Each structure stands twice: as structure tokens, then as C-alpha cells.
Amino acid sequence: MTTGPAGEDPAVRSDENRPAKAARRVALGVGGAVVLLAALDAYVVVTVLIDIAEDVGIPVNRLERATPVVTGFLLGYVAAMPLLGRLSDRYGRRPLIHACLAAFALGSVLTALAAGEAMVVAGRTVQGVAGGALLPITMALIADLWGERERPMALGAVGAAQELGSALGPLYGGLLAALPRTSFLGVELGGWHAIFWINVPLAALAAVAVHRCVPPPSPPAVRAADGTGAVERADGTGTVGRVDGTGGALLALALALLVAGLYNPDPAKAVLPSWGLPLIAAGLLAGAAFVRWEIRSPVRLLDLSGTRKGPLLATLGASFLTGAALLVTMVFVQFTAQTLLEMEALEAAAQVLGWFLIALPVGAVAGGLLARRLGDRSVAVTGLLVAATGYALMSRWPLDLAGARPQMSADLVVAGLGLGLVIAPVSAAVLRVTPAAQHGVASAAVVVARMMGMLIGIAGVSAWGFYRFQSLTAHLDTPLPFGVDPAVYARRMADYLARVDAALHLEYTEMFLVTAVLCLIGAVVALFMPGRGA
């Protein structure tokens, strides 16, 4: 064992030198607030996606062109999360958090100023890269400041901030988007733009709080000489951090290729574009290369060595499928309310999607309590089965949704409770099968898996859904008011809109049925999660 000058254990010396409890709690609060800010923006566009689409010139019958606004953020979020978390080992937590907050503010400004699709997607992607890095850096900060015995509670608080963002994000976005539209020097400040403008002062306040409350960087890094291309930091306490740049690049490449292959800007003739299958195949190859690299490399992006791989992968798989169901619900329930019930963004989020958002944290709390008595695996399987039931009921929503509001609310509560039940058992199961020293990276792995599920799930399910809508409406001709009696035109337009609504209704209900199948698959996967004695 390496010892200090007087034969002292560095780990003991490190514990003695940890900041006082009050200072650590303040740092935890600041870190949690930073994570919450990023988590809110992961879900904030759910409420206003149609409004953004309209403002940047995307018609309501071509909403497939708006999906990169969601997937761009998620891609940046997932790709950056493990890599930049490790990079903070080299440069220190505080400088990396500052850099991420600055990039987050920049991405917000780009999004708020966007006048076209490309700029919105670019801004959201920059936001995603910055936001995705904040969670693992904060978790690494917790590992720096808390001893092994106290660390799980602190990590749980940061995880709770991440989960809170999923519940509050759509409502938060709807509230800000409800601000009156105003402009200054030709720059739009109100409406959905306010969601992103407010991030600038919030990021600045967070940066000040981080500077005052987060400890300064450790001693400088030195480059590893093992030929892996990693960087290494020796901080005087025996802590060593390395950055797996190759693994990070392979993961980002795999995800980018899969998402690009699933995105079809013109789904009128096929589910996938002409380049879809080649890009998906290339993405799978890149994913295989990533797995091979992680097995063989001495430096791993998510180092969970020493754990039982079967139960671990099953748990992460359940988290992946839960994430897919979660985002499909948030996006397409909101679409349903705004297109078929003709609600405003905030009204739709509060009165329709809100039932799901309320049930989700209630289910999460219940899942944590039940898992103590029944075990993580049993509760996760039950939760996914309950969620599958909720989505199966949602797939049977009638065309006359205005007369079925109580049924919609009840079904959304069932789905939300089911998915909520899965959250705590999945996190607890991963922590139970990993050594205490790896709890930070294990917690990040659960979130990475869920966000990957959101990314791939929304890309794949929406590709099918938008293709179905285009195929259902391909034979419809938009009525024109020229050369016909106004009454005839009004009748034709009403018939046309009724047919479009019927196509949208079928699209949405089929997507909820697909989501029910995903939850059933998730329940089967969850059967292989670690049992009580694991």
C-alpha cells in the first residue's frame, strides 16, 4: 500500500482533508441545481415542439422534420456524458463545469435566435453536449468530497435532481412559452424563445455559485505513457483518472450513425430513407467496435469491471427500454393534445400530459419503498407490465378524444405509475452489483442507458409513425377555394381535416401500441436483473 511521509494511508489522509459538512452540502446543492438545469432542458421542448416547428417553417403535416430538435440534444447529451466526465479528472471539476455552463448558455442563445431548422438543431446539440457532461462531473465531484459511507446518499440526491427534470421539464417549458411574445431590436424574447433566453442568466448564476462553492482543481495532469492515448492525473491522494478518447469517439459515432439512419425527412414512400440501412449497419459495426475496444482497452469509458455482466446488462437494458417509452410518451401525448384536441402548449402539458408527469414521480417513490420489501427485480418487472397495460389502453383511445378525457387521464396515470416504479429498482440494482468505488460511474451508466433509449426509441418509433401518417394521407388532396361555392369549399375542407385527424389518431394509437410492446420486452429483460441475494 502506498503511504504518506509518515506511513499514513493516503485514503485516510484524503478523508481527513475533505471539506466541512456544511461546505459539502452547499457544493451538493450547487451541483444538484446545475444537473437540474440541464435535465430540464432535456425535456423542455416536448411542450413547444410544434410551436418551434411552425416558427422555423415546418408545417404541421411534416413534423418528422422537427425530430432532430429532440434527437440532436439527446445525441450530444449521451455522447458527452461519459467522455467529459472523465476529462474532468484531468482538468478538475470546477473548470469543466464552468466550460459546460458557458457552452450551455451559447447553445441556448443559438436556439433562441434560430430562424431555421439547422440553427435550432445546432443550438440544441451544443446544449446537449454541455448538459450531458454536467451529470458525471457532478457525480465525480461527490466522490471527491464524500467518503464511501456517506457517498450513496449524496449520489441519490444528484440522481433525484436528474429525475426531477424529466417530471418538471415539459411543464416548465410550457409556463415559460406562455409568456407574451415581445421583441427587442428585432430579437424575439417571448414565447418559446423565453425558454432559452432564461438559461443565460441561470447559467451565469450557476457559474458564480460553482466558483464560490466547488473546490479548486487538483494538481496538473500528466500524460500517460502506455500508448493508449489516455491522459492521467495524479492528485497526491492516490487518485488516477484517465480519458478514453477512442471509446468516446466510437460511442458517439455509433449513436450518430444510428440516429441518422433512422431519420427520414421524406417518409411518404418508406419508413427509412435510401441511406437508412447502410448507416444503421455502419452504426451497428461502430457499436461492435466500441464494445470490442472497451473489453480490450486498459482504459474504459464506463469501467464496470468486477461486476457480474449478465445482471448488469439486463438492468441497463431495462433502463434503456424505460427511456424509450418515457420520451415517446412525452412527445406524442403532447402532439395528440395539440393536434387532435387543439389545445395550446401549456394547456396540453398541464391538462393531458400532466397526468403522466404527476404519476411518474409518485411511481418512483412507491418503487423505492416496494423494492425494499419485494426486491428490485420483482418491482421492475411489475412496473414494466403495468406500463405495458397503460400503453395498450392508450392504443384504444377513441377518435372522439374530447369525450374521452377521463379515460385518457386514467390511462396516462397507469402508464406513468408503471414507468415510475422502474426508476428506483434499476438504480438500486446497478449499485448493488457494483463495488462502492464504482457507484458514481454505475449511476451514470443507468442514466446513459436511459438517455440512449430515449434517443434510439424516439428516432425509431417516430420513423414508423410518420411513415404511417404519410401513407394514410397520400391519397388526400387539399381543397382549394377557387371556382367553387364557399359552402362547398367549407364542406370539403371540413371533410379533409376530419380525414387528417383520423390519420393522426391512427398514427398515435399505433405508436402507443408499439410502446406497449417495448415495455413487455423490457419486463422480460428485467427478469434477468439481480435478485435479492445478488
The answer for residues whose C-beta is within 8 angstroms of residue 194's C-beta and 6 or more apart is 176, 177, 179
Question: 310-534: CATH homologous superfamily?
Answer: MFS general substrate transporter like domains (1.20.1250.20)
Q: 3-class SS at 179?
A: coil
Per residue in 473-528, pLDDT (tens digit) is 888 888 887 777 888 888 888 888 889 899 999 999 999 999 999 999 999 999 99
Distance of CA 219 to the CA centre of its chain: 33
Domains 18-215 and 310-534 share a fold: yes
For the chain, domain boundaries: 18-215, 245-298, 310-534
pLDDT at 125: 92
pLDDT at 10: 39
Distance in angstroms (rounded) separating the CA atoms of residues 251 and 228? 17
> In angstroms, what CA-CA distances link 501 with 54, 248, 292, 296?
18, 43, 48, 53
Distance in angstroms (rounded) separating the CA atoms of residues 257 and 255? 5
pLDDT at 306: 64
pLDDT at 105: 94
Distance in angstroms (rounded) separating the CA atoms of residues 158 and 150? 13
Pairing of strands 240-242, 183-184: unpaired
Distance in angstroms (rounded) separating the CA atoms of residues 352 and 333? 8
Q: 3-class SS at 187?
A: strand
Longest dimension (CA), the chain: 98
Distance in angstroms (rounded) separating the CA atoms of residues 456 and 441? 22
Task: List, for the chain, all residue ranges whose pLDDT scores fall below the cut of 70.
Answer: 1-20, 61, 82, 85-86, 89, 148-152, 155-156, 217-244, 301-307, 436-441, 532-534
Question: 18-215: CATH homologous superfamily?
Answer: MFS general substrate transporter like domains (1.20.1250.20)
The residue among 414, 359, 358 whose CA lies nearest residue 386 is 414
Q: Are 425 and 367 in contact (CB under 8 A)?
A: yes
pTM, entire model: 0.80
Residue 344, H or E segment: none
pLDDT at 217: 63
The answer for residues whose C-beta is within 8 angstroms of residue 258's C-beta and 6 or more apart is 279, 280, 283, 284, 287, 456, 459
End-to-end CA gap in the chain:
30
Q: Which amino acid type is present at position 27?
A: A
pLDDT at 455: 87
